[in-house]
Amino acid sequence: MRAKQADGSTAAYFYHRTTGRRLQGEPGSPVFRQALEEAARQAEADRAPAAAVLTIGDLVDAYQAAPAWTSLKASTRETGQFHIAAILRAFGDMTLAEVAQEPAPAALLGWHAERAAQHPRDADARLSCLSSILAFAVTAGLLDRHPLPRFERAYTPKPPAAAPLPTSLRPGEVAVILAPRLLSKALAASYCDVTPARFDRWRKAGMMPDPLPGTARWDRVDIDAAIEDLKKLGKLTTPAKAAPPSAGEDPLAAWLATKGPKPWKR
């Protein structure tokens, strides 16, 4: 391009045809060649397509089209969709470049903590869902590393409460719990599968031991010893409808009369 100057002379100006950029210097000079190369590089950059800016919203679309999502059960996907909706509301516009930067984990943990203040279980589920989506991004090569591979869960399941021991027991109920060494009368009777009244009659008849001195507790080992003695005497194996033996023939009465103190009475 030539232009007339104020003094009447004519000056030539050179411009790059593609970019319209003015080229400094005279054709063939080093300054002109450098300006021409810079203009050519600018033209090449202008022709290149703009790099896609991926966001978490774009990542979610790719994730839900992949087997990592489609292979899940329908019920699992239905529940996960609620968590994804919350993720998109909070971080849908965040770019993956921002996710890869240092502040991102703090932002994710802050979002989790805010929800956990009222709904800890739901907060854990949301962040776990987002963690799965980010893991997919790493596998797909969209992220170099996972920004939050682990996190401390807010919800801790409570252990099941132990069933309280019953205050009163029917005969035989002690069999379903761990019997302690020392038994109350109710437990001692239940241990023998009889009512407390029958246990009292057995004790008065000398068939069962007395409670430990100064207590209202029976030693389970003494009860076992008494039962073994009764088995040896045949007392507990006599048929229910057999005629009662006479006083002289009663082996228990004879044993009590000759043996003296019972082995469980120390």
- With a cut of 60, say whether residue 151 has pLDDT above it: yes
Round to whole Å and give the CA distance between 21 and 42: 9
Q: Band the pLDDT of 257: cuts 50, 70, 90.
A: low
Residues across the chain = 266
Q: Which residues contact 266 (CB under 8 A, 6 or more apart)?
A: none
Angle formed by the axes of helices 56-64 and 120-139, nearest 10°:
80
Round to whole Å and give the CA distance between 181 and 29: 108
166-224 pLDDT, tens per residue? Answer: 556 565 555 445 567 888 888 888 888 888 999 999 999 889 999 999 999 999 899 98
Average pLDDT over residues 130-135: 94
Q: 84 with 60: CB under 8 angstroms?
A: yes
- With a cut of 70, say whether residue 245 has pLDDT above it: no
pLDDT at 235: 60
pLDDT at 39: 80
CA-only gyration radius of the chain, Å = 46
68-105 CB burial, b ≥16 within 10 A, e <16: bbeeeeeeeeeebeebbebbeebbeebebeebeeeebe
Q: What percent of the chain has pLDDT over 90?
A: 40
> Three-class SS of residue 10?
strand
Which range in 1-10, 31-40, 74-83, 166-175 is most confidently predicted, on average pLDDT? Answer: 74-83
Q: What percent of the chain has pLDDT over 70?
A: 74
What's the number of CA atoms in the CB half-sphere (13 Å) around residue 88? 12
- With a cut of 70, say whether residue 238 has pLDDT above it: no
* Higher-scoring residue by pLDDT: 238, 116: 116
Tell whether pTM > 0.75. Answer: no
Q: Band the pLDDT of 239: cuts 50, 70, 90.
A: very low
Average pLDDT over residues 147-153: 89
pLDDT at 176: 45
Joined tokens for residue 20? 């319209």
* Higher-scoring residue by pLDDT: 90, 164: 90
Round to whole Å and give the CA distance between 197 and 51: 91
Average pLDDT over residues 85-90: 95
Q: Band the pLDDT of 263: cuts 50, 70, 90.
A: low
pLDDT at 168: 62
Averaged confidence pLDDT in the chain: 81
Environment class of 53 (CB within 10 Å of its CB; exposed 0-12, middle 13-18, buried 19+): exposed
